[in-house]
Amino acid sequence: MSELKSSNLINKLEAVLKNIAAFCLISMALLTGADIISRGACGSPIFGVEEIIAVLAVLTTGLALGYTHSQKSNIGVEFLVSKFKRRTRRNINCATNIVSAVLFAVVAWRLVLYGQSLKEAGEVTMTLALPTYMIIYALAFGFGCFTLTLLKEIAEHLLGDK
């Protein structure tokens, strides 16, 4: 029962992060359009638009990782693996998920440490003076949630749920 609750919690977290990522993506498109209109109509770009779009792009990518993986929407090379038996494919997928979970857990951890160092140094973006560490922390959170998605799939494989 606890596996089901944690799985549902991770699924809900993925959905929330997916919606935030979608909002960031739509905001990027609208902001780009507004900047183009501003340049054409007023002869002046929106102040800091490139910086804001870069931040939104980072958030879009980092926050959508878990949902994208759970939906099997990522790009995978399966030419060789597709030739194996179903059980072998599932075991290869589980092994890949284990290696990926370790890798992305380390990446999330290192991003947190990097964010801490940026916070201590007082780093901000060049134009708008946004605190850079907050962007790094958000990215670390996205990678951490992606790691949870991978761990959920590993548990489902080991428990035989899927």
Instruction: Assign 74 a pLDDT band (cuts: 50, 70, 90).
Output: low
- Predicted structure pTM score: 0.84
pLDDT, residue 1, reads: 45
DSSP code string of 141-158: HHHHHHHHHHHHHHHHHH
Q: Are 28 and 57 a contacting pair, CB within 8 Å?
A: yes
The total number of residues shown for the chain amounts to: 162
Domain ranges, ordered by start, for the chain = 2-159
Beta bridge partners of 131: 124
Residues 6+ apart with CB under 8 A from 89: 81, 82
- Count CA atoms within 13 Å of residue 49 on its CB side: 17
Rounded-to-integer distance, Cα 51 and Cα 58, Å: 11
The string over 71-88, giving b where at least 16 C-beta atoms fall within 10 Å of a residue's C-beta and e elsewhere, is eeeeeeeeeeeeeeeeee
Average pLDDT over residues 37-43: 91
Q: Which residue has the higher pLDDT, 62 or 79?
A: 62
11 vs 137, higher pLDDT = 137
Which tens digit of pLDDT belongs to each residue from 108-140? 999 999 999 999 999 999 999 999 999 999 999
CA 87/CA 80 separation, integer angstroms: 14
